[in-house]
Amino acid sequence: MKTDVLDFQSVRLDDARHQVVILDQTKLPNETVYRTLETAEDVWDAIYKLEVRGAPAIGIAGAYGLYIGMKHVESENFDDFYEKLKKVKAYLGSSRPTAVNLFWALDRMERVVLENKDATVAEIKEIMRAESEVIRAEDEAVCKSIGEYSLSLLKPGMGILTHCNAGTIATAKYGTALAPIYLGQERNYGFKVFADETRPLLQGARLTAWELNEAGVDVTLICDNMASIVMKNGWVNAVLVGCDRVAANGDTANKIGTSGVAILAKKYGIPVYVHAPLSTIDLETKTGDDIHIELRPGEEVYKTWYEKPMAPEGIKTYNPAFDVTDADYITAIITEKGIAYPPYEVSLAKLFE
Ligand code: MRU
């Protein structure tokens, strides 16, 4: 690899300084800026503004946020401590609604607290710190495993199209949809990757193109509306994407534009592989219709990233951050425990047995 892009840590805990440290993803690719977050409010803000983003990274940040939010709570009484924890947890959960990893990580943190309600508050805080670090460490192993399963479906020299950024900085390490590309790079697979720019927040242009370029991968940046021509040209053999929430029937929420890419891929006979840590699969959500899609400010569509607004001031906008790809368009869902194929109602449930 050209540089060790895999060494960039998008989110980590600096417990000695009572801080969460994030790589501010809104500054990439032009600046590498690390920001320190000292309160649950700082973490909420960083998640909302996408300074830390990508479903697994949001989950890790949420777990750290709950820990640092509770670290300074003075009370020695468990009930008082727990009342406060429920408030901080609900607050952090209100930052972004679609990625289920955030809720999964916050629930997991609450669970260890309840399991240890007989410990002292000081001990509980230490248990929370340890659990948040386990969540981060597990994610790294999960992503590596997803990468290996995904790579088993790919062949050297393949053309790959990816949308948004499901890369190393969206996770603890390796990424999900980009994990097989990194593993393939180490093993000389010679993939040729097309990165959709991913309007409106340009995660594909700013983050995926940057990550893969740093790693020395052959990556070509395209505008979102060029996906069809590269597929028609026969340059794409597989579509690899991440996800924010997979429903029990396999319907998958991912970055806005993913469903269009999947529909095109079906037209051209190209497989679509969704990369999903089990923490992103939500069996409680029956179908895609039950997934809450985040709506974001219109400024992102006509102002953000431009020196001057590129549409009339005050123009009406519609800015959903995610869309749902119907399970029919998904060839396989790749998890750390194996590859699920349709019918997903059966194969996804089996993964949790
Ligand atoms: O709004 P974002 O940038 O957080 O959206 C991210 C995505 O849609 C990713 O594909 C998904 O979270 C998976 S990241 C491994």
Q: Which residues of 117-145 are buried (b: 16+ CB within 10 A; e: fewer)?
A: eeeebeebbbbbbebbbebbebbbebbbb
Residue 193 tokens read as 């990757």
Residue 306 inside a domain? The answer is yes
> Residues, the chain, total?
353
76 three-class SS: coil
Enclosing domain of residue 191: 153-351
If asked whether residues 192 and 135 sit together in one domain, one would say: no
Q: pLDDT tens, 159-181?
A: 999 999 999 999 999 999 999 99
pLDDT value of residue 314: 86
Last residue of a domain, one of 143, 171, 205: 143
- CA distances from residue 304 to 58, 241, 270 in whole angstroms, order as listed: 22, 24, 33
CA of 81 to the centre of ligand 1 (A): 33
If asked whether residues 137 and 160 sit together in one domain, one would say: no
**Ligand 1 atom 15: residue of nearest CA:** 166
Q: What are phi and psi of 39, to 5 degrees?
A: -135, 170
If asked whether residues 116 and 30 sit together in one domain, one would say: yes
- Cβ–ligand 1 distance for 275 under 6 Å, the answer no
Dihedral, CA of residue 255, residue 238, residue 279 and residue 23, to nearest 10: -60
Residue 107 inside a domain? The answer is yes
Q: Which of 244, 291, 295, 333 should be mutated for ligand 1, with most atoms under 8 A from CB?
A: 244
If asked whether residues 164 and 129 sit together in one domain, one would say: no
pTM for the full predicted model:
0.97
pLDDT value of residue 3: 60
* CATH number (domain holding residue 218): 3.40.50.10470
- Cβ–ligand 1 distance for 238 under 6 Å, the answer no
Last residue of a domain, one of 80, 111, 143: 143
Tally of domains within the chain: 2
Whether 326 is a known active-site residue: answer no
The type of residue at 286 is K
pLDDT value of residue 313: 87
Residue 174 inside a domain? The answer is yes
CA atoms within 13 A on the CB side of 187: 15
CA of 111 to the centre of ligand 1 (A): 26
Cα–Cα distance, 65 to 50 (Å, whole number): 15
CA of 120 to the centre of ligand 1 (A): 38
Residue 86 inside a domain? The answer is yes
If asked whether residues 186 and 108 sit together in one domain, one would say: no
Last residue of a domain, one of 94, 115, 143: 143
If asked whether residues 325 and 180 sit together in one domain, one would say: yes
* CATH number (domain holding residue 133): 1.20.120.420
Q: pLDDT tens, 120-137?
A: 999 999 999 999 999 999
Q: pLDDT tens, 55-110?
A: 999 999 999 999 999 999 999 999 999 999 999 999 999 999 999 999 999 999 99
Residue 192 inside a domain? The answer is yes
Residue 148 inside a domain? The answer is no
Out of 42, 139, 196, 244, the active site residue is 244
If asked whether residues 306 and 245 sit together in one domain, one would say: yes
Q: Which residues of 154-176 are buried (b: 16+ CB within 10 A; e: fewer)?
A: beeebbbbbbbbbbbbbbbbbbb
Looking at ligand 1, which atom is closest to the CA of residue 176?
Answer: 15
